[in-house]
């Protein structure tokens, strides 16, 4: 495939760079426009399921990603009040045997670097930093993107990979901002030796409590400890200083297990993340423009699949463009049709799971009893729709 004008991608997040790589490997010229001065510098952990490794293989970055990954033996859910184990997903050999690929935790910077390094080796890709897109026009033959600094860039098509607050989505649909769900997050990544001794464990651990949770796991060969505290608050958009945020954190988790309280001391209260999603939609392509990743289907973090879905999108999108022989309108319709049901399921199941994680009172005890009774095989089968991933047929 050869296109005279480049395919423009707004946003060099994980979805944007994966899409650049996937399209370039199909022979497309691509230009990625990123608002930040440097792409991919946000440094926290991320979990990836076996479905995403199939995509890494297609993109030629599997070995690089594996070399930076931590392989947890299990993903555990612990009750935040009693400390008891609620459920365990074995992610060792039995998991690999069932799903064909591993479950990993990786530093987001490392993952981004793997994708960016592969982009650098591909002459079809240009990544332009400090290039904030503020609008675009589609005249049927090309798209014309306006940047904040006054430049205008022409392309043969536009992919909005600009995240939760997507400018591209706002321009396409004029819909309201994403729904904040009343929860916020504080995160921290610190040297392994600075984590509390009891917290230094190989597993991914989710501590589930009434209207709050904590997720912890190691990164970079256990040299780093990653932790995120997520909780409901009356004022998710409140802007306050680190001490005021810390006070709210301590009040919220006052009844939590002592092991969780120790981890709260470590949280970075300099930055707060407002948790939000949107309702699923079926149509996110119009003419020569489409959306990808969080711009198209932002999801809550309960299944840890937001980035995974963005990377799946990238591979499917490139396949659709290649099959439609650069007829972007046709390719984008086919792409959204292929992706809508799966991504909507991730969004809706993540919302349902979010409620289950945060149950209180008798409902919490009922959940614990039901989940404790699950066998390993049952747990795997409940996850199969997600981790079996998208086969060649689905593409
Ligand atoms: C606390 C937390 C934990 C998470 N854990 C996981 C996990 O374990 N596993 C998982 O798979 N996912 C996880 N996610 C979700 C995941 O981070 C996102 O789904 C994923 O990063 C989406 O990628 P994206 O490329 O679509 O968007 P983003 O990563 O948001 O990237 C968008 C890019 O576009 C740029 N941009 C924005 N606007 C413009 C503009 N106008 N012009 C140019 N550039 C622009 C931004 O600077 C950014 O670089 C988590 C999210 C949170 C908040």
> Which one, of 288, 291, 296, lies nearest residue 330 by Cα?
288
Per-residue pLDDT of the chain (395 residues; tens, 9 = 90+): 557 899 999 999 999 999 999 999 999 999 999 999 988 777 799 999 999 999 999 999 999 999 999 999 999 999 999 999 999 999 999 999 999 999 999 999 999 999 999 999 999 999 999 999 999 999 999 999 999 999 999 999 999 999 999 999 999 987 888 989 999 999 999 999 999 999 999 999 999 999 999 999 999 999 999 999 999 999 888 889 999 999 999 999 999 999 999 999 889 899 999 999 999 999 999 999 999 999 999 999 999 999 999 999 999 999 999 999 989 999 999 999 999 999 999 999 999 999 999 999 999 999 999 999 999 999 999 999 999 999 743 43
Ligand 1 contact, 167 CB (< 6 A):
yes
Ligand 1 contact, 306 CB (< 6 A):
yes
pLDDT given for residue 1 in this prediction: 57
Atom of ligand 1 nearest to the CA of 17: 25
Atom of ligand 1 nearest to the CA of 296: 26
pLDDT given for residue 27 in this prediction: 94
pLDDT given for residue 14 in this prediction: 97
| Backbone φ/ψ region at 389: left (φ over 0), alpha (ψ -120 to 50), beta | left
Atom of ligand 1 nearest to the CA of 52: 11
CA distance 156 to 339: 22
Ligand 1 contact, 74 CB (< 6 A):
no
Ligand 1 contact, 161 CB (< 6 A):
yes
| 38 CA to centre of ligand 1 in angstroms | 14
Predicted TM-score (pTM) of this structure: 0.96
Cβ pair 55, 342 in contact under 8 A = no
Q: What are the strands of the beta sheet with 30-33, ordered from one edge?
A: 125-128, 30-33, 7-10, 157-160, 289-291
Q: What residue segments make up the domains of the chain, in order of their start?
A: 7-68+105-177+278-351
pLDDT given for residue 57 in this prediction: 97
Cβ pair 332, 19 in contact under 8 A = no
In the numeric block, the tokens 């030629």 are attached to: 60
CATH architecture classification, 7-68+105-177+278-351: 3-Layer(bba) Sandwich (3.50)
Substitution candidate for ligand 1 out of 17, 278, 306, 309 with most atoms within 8 A of CB: 306
| 164 CA to centre of ligand 1 in angstroms | 7
pLDDT given for residue 395 in this prediction: 39
Atom 21 of ligand 1: nearest residue by CA position: 307
> Which one, of 247, 265, 132, 152, lies nearest residue 198 by Cα?
265
Residues 6+ apart with CB under 8 A from 306: 293, 294, 298, 299
**C-alpha to C-alpha distances, 141 to 171, 213, 218, 285, 328, nearest whole angstrom:** 18, 49, 49, 16, 10
Ligand 1 contact, 268 CB (< 6 A):
no
């Amino acid at each position: 495939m050869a296109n005279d004008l480049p395919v423009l991608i707004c946003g060099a997040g994980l979805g944007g760079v994966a899409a650049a790589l996937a399209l370039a490997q199909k022979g497309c010229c691509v230009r990625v426009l990123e608002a930040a001065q440097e792409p991919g510098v946000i440094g926290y952990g991320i979990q990836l399921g076996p479905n995403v490794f199939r995509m890494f293989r297609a993109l030629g970055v599997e070995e690089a990603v594996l070399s930076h990954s931590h392989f947890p033996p299990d993903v555990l859910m612990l009750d935040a009040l009693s400390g008891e184990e609620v459920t365990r997903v074995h992610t060792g050999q039995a998991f690999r045997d069932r799903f064909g690929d591993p479950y990993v935790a990786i530093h987001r910077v490392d993952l981004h670097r793997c994708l960016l390094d592969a982009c650098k080796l591909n002459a079809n890709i240009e990544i332009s930093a400090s290039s904030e897109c503020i609008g675009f026009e589609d005249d049927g033959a090309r798209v014309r993107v306006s940047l904040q600094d006054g430049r205008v860039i022409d392309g043969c098509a536009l992919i909005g990979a600009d995240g939760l607050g997507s400018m591209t989505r706002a321009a396409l649909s004029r819909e309201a901002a994403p729904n904040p769900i009343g929860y916020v997050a504080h995160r921290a990544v610190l040297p392994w030796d600075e984590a509390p001794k009891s917290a230094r464990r190989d597993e991914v651990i989710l501590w589930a409590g009434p209207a709050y949770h904590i997720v912890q796991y190691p990164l970079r060969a256990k040299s780093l400890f990653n932790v995120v505290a997520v909780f409901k608050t009356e004022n998710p958009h409140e802007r306050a200083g680190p001490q005021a945020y810390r006070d709210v954190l301590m009040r919220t988790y006052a009844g939590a297990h002592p092991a969780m309280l120790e981890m709260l001391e470590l949280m970075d209260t300099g930055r707060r993340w407002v948790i939000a999603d949107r309702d699923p939609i079926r149509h996110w392509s119009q003419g020569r423009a489409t959306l990808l990743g969080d711009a198209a289907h932002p999801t809550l973090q309960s299944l840890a699949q937001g980035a995974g879905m963005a990377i799946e999108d990238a591979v499917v999108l490139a396949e659709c463009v290649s099959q439609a022989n650069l007829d972007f309108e046709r390719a984008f319709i086919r792409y959204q049709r292929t992706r809508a049901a799966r991504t909507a399921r991730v969004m809706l199941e993540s919302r349902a799971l979010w409620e289950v994680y945060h149950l209180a009172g008798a409902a919490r005890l009922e959940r614990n009893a039901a989940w404790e009774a699950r066998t390993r095989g049952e747990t795997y089968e409940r996850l199969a729709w997600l981790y079996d991933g998208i086969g060649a047929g689905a593409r």
